[in-house]
Amino acid sequence: MLELRALPTDCAQRRQESVCVGCGARAFSVCSSLDPADLAGLDAIAERVSLKAGEALIREGDPAIHLFNITSGSVRIYKLLPDGRRQITGFLFAGDFVGLATGEDYAFSGEAIEDSTLCRFRKSEYRALVRERPRLEEALLDRATHELAAAQNQMLLLGRKTAQERIASFLLELPSRDPLRPQAEDQVRLPMTRSEIADYLGLTIETVSRVLTKFKTTGVIRLLSLSELRIEEPERLRDIAEGEA
Amino acid sequence: MLELRALPTDCAQRRQESVCVGCGARAFSVCSSLDPADLAGLDAIAERVSLKAGEALIREGDPAIHLFNITSGSVRIYKLLPDGRRQITGFLFAGDFVGLATGEDYAFSGEAIEDSTLCRFRKSEYRALVRERPRLEEALLDRATHELAAAQNQMLLLGRKTAQERIASFLLELPSRDPLRPQAEDQVRLPMTRSEIADYLGLTIETVSRVLTKFKTTGVIRLLSLSELRIEEPERLRDIAEGEA
DNA sequence: CAATTCTTTTGACGCGGATCAAGGCGGTCC
DNA sequence: GGACCGCCTTGATCCGCGTCAAAAGAATTG
């Protein structure tokens, strides 16, 4: 008797654990503001998605049906001009939300930079859930607010900073971004290519490369490999980033 | 008897009308999603503020105590680098919300471009109200979402567009912004100076001026006065804005 | 591990837009 | 209404970064 009743409950809980409760990115995402009951609701509409490096999850102009929450890996979101010029508007990591800034259609494209896993939600179902969970809505507004502040910083960077200042700023903000891979102090992992860095900072690959070698030869950074570097003089890099050098 | 009871009610209603119910910007702001009861709650914590052209309402770095809703006029928000370089991250008009993207301290400064009126709220009181009014929170999230999309467009502009493309884009988006002064088709009002336009587009005043005269001499626009112009060939301007010319 | 290919680095050169410098054009204030 | 003052326009020059080109590494494949 007891076991007959216990079984389904057990199953339901195991199902939860398989998606949300055991999610390594939960602590960094909007999900962290949900209590166990809410989490179950979220779990019911969540769908796991795996992407290989380079695969798209969102295409600008397509109807915005889904929202995503990154659980591992990293994603680039970008906009294109008709002639192919690209502006990467953000690099997103575990815990980040993809698709907040969307109306009817996606206003940007999104692709995995490296092999990644995501939680996918139907927008309609998600909206319904959010309406019943004020804490979730609050968390979302909070996220959006932070993204807006970050966007303003990026506008300052793109509109008014020199190439050196842009790259210094970029190197300083990157390490704090990926919660699943907390870097050793002043160690920076660059999962993206030079071309992606360039398109994020409004520069060309050549300029990115030149500035990095200049930082290297002046001893501000040390290149450990193509995608890994160490900030040797954080103080000086901060000065450069703010235009005080 | 009846009149004794009626009086205070009357007063309360008149007080409402004096701030929210009679507000000309209500239809364009987050307030539009409030029913009369909610509006009364908002009214209770709203405070009217008048600013003359040039006066500040928010200073970067100050503790973020207040939030604002613009009821008339226009506002510029911007960030500065230590050496004085300025990036204007937005021009805001009636119905727009100022202070969404703030944590503990304001991350940007805000000043009236022309004489303006605003509704001011204590952040703490506003938060409390929002928690009780899911529709208001929803409206705020919606606003933030739109601002994020706009910010991404601006990043594309600042990172990848030429001076001509930037100014063409700017002229096309401006007229749709100020709901209290719906412009005649293709008529553009420029309440901001050339220097403000430059700092919004990541250019210098000289470049702004040169491009405007070029647009004038090629017949794409006509300058009616310093702060008023007509788009003569909207189609061509759109092509320029998207880099197809 | 050689061959191919893609990415990054490095170098030479050119251009778009910044900087520097006058001049024009309204507004405002005695 | 004349003189001042701030903003805008126009011109001349300069320079940071983009463009073009090629070499040097990495990564990938058979």
Q: Which residues of A touch B (CB under 8 A)?
A: 79, 81-83, 85-87, 89, 100-103, 107-108, 131, 134, 137-138, 140-141, 144-149, 151-156, 158-161, 199, 201-202, 242-244
- Please list every residue in chain A whose beta carbon sits closer than 8 Å to the beta carbon of residue B242: 81-82
User: What DSSP string describes B163-197?
Assistant: HHHHHHHHHHHGGGT-TTSPPPTTEEE--S-HHHH
Top pLDDT among A63 and B40 is at: A63
Q: Where are the domains of chain B?
A: 2-133, 161-241
pLDDT tens column, A74-90: 999 999 999 999 999 99
Residue A197, Cα to own-chain centre: how many angstroms? 14
Asked if A148 lies within 8 A of B149 by C-beta distance, the reply is no
pLDDT above 50 for A7: no
A245: three-class secondary structure by DSSP: coil
- pLDDT tier, B85 (very low <50, low <70, confident <90, very high otherwise): very high
Tokens 């959006």: give the residue.
A144
- A153 contact to strand D (CB, 7 A limit): no
| Cβ-defined contacts of A185-189 (< 8 Å, 24+) | A186/A230, A186/A231, A186/A232, A186/A234, A187/A228, A187/A229, A187/A230, A187/A231, A188/A228, A188/A229, A188/A230, A188/A231, A189/A227, A189/A228
Q: Which nucleotide is nearest to B201 (CA to C1')?
A: C17
Contact check, Cβ <8 Å, A148/B101: yes
Q: Any residues with CB less than 8 A from the CB of B156 and at least 6 apart, and which?
A: A79, A81, A87, A89
Report the DSSP beta bridge partners of residue A91.
Answer: A76
Which residues of B in 24-43 have their CB below 7 Å from strand C's atoms? none
**Residue B204, CB, less than 7 Å from strand C?**
yes
Rounded to whole angstroms, the Cα distance separating B150 from B90 reads 10
Q: Are B75 and B81 in contact (CB under 8 A)?
A: no
Give nucleotides in strand D with any atom < 7 A to a protein C-beta. Answer: 7-12, 16-21, 26-27
What is the residue type of A187?
Answer: Q
Measure the CA dihedral B52/B144/A74/B79, to 10°.
0
Whole-number average pLDDT of chain A: 89
Mean pLDDT computed over B143-172: 97
Q: What is the pLDDT of residue B74?
A: 95
Q: Which CATH number is B2-133 given? A: 2.60.120.10
Q: How many CB pairs under 8 A join A and B?
A: 138
d(CA B149, CA A147): 11
Per the CB < 8 Å rule, is B131 touching A134?
A: yes
- pLDDT-derived band at B120 (thresholds 50, 70, 90) equals very high
Confidence of residue B235 (pLDDT cuts 50, 70, 90): very high
Show the DSSP H helices in chain A as ranges.
2-16, 36-45, 123-132, 134-160, 163-173, 194-201, 205-217, 234-241
3-class DSSP assignment, residue A49: strand
What sign has the CA pseudo-torsion B162, B168, B169, B170? positive
Q: For the segment A9-60, what is each residue's pLDDT rounded down to a tens digit?
A: 444 444 444 578 888 889 888 888 878 887 888 888 999 999 999 999 999 9
| Cross-chain Cβ contact A159/B83 below 8 Å | no
Residues B17-37: pLDDT tens digits?
557 888 888 888 888 877 887
Residues of chain B whose beta carbon is less than 8 angstroms from a beta carbon of chain A are 79, 81-83, 85-87, 89, 100-103, 107-108, 131, 134, 137-138, 140-141, 144-149, 151-156, 158-161, 199, 201-202, 242-244
Q: What is the pLDDT of residue A16?
A: 42
Q: Indicate the burial class of B117 (C-beta count within 10 angstroms; 0-12, 13-18, 19 or more).
A: middle
The shortest C-alpha distance from B17 to chain A (Å) reads 30
Tell which CATH classification among 3.40.50.970, 1.10.540.10, 3.40.190.10, 2.60.120.10 matches the domain A2-142: 2.60.120.10
With a cut of 60, say whether residue B1 has pLDDT above it: no
Whether residue B160 is predicted with pLDDT greater than 60 in this model: the reply is yes
CA geometry: angle A17, A23, A27, nearest 5 deg: 125
- Output the CA torsion sign for A28, A29, A34, A39: negative
Instruction: Give the closest of B87, B89, B145 to A100, CB-based.
Output: B145
- What CATH number has the domain spanning B161-241? 1.10.10.10
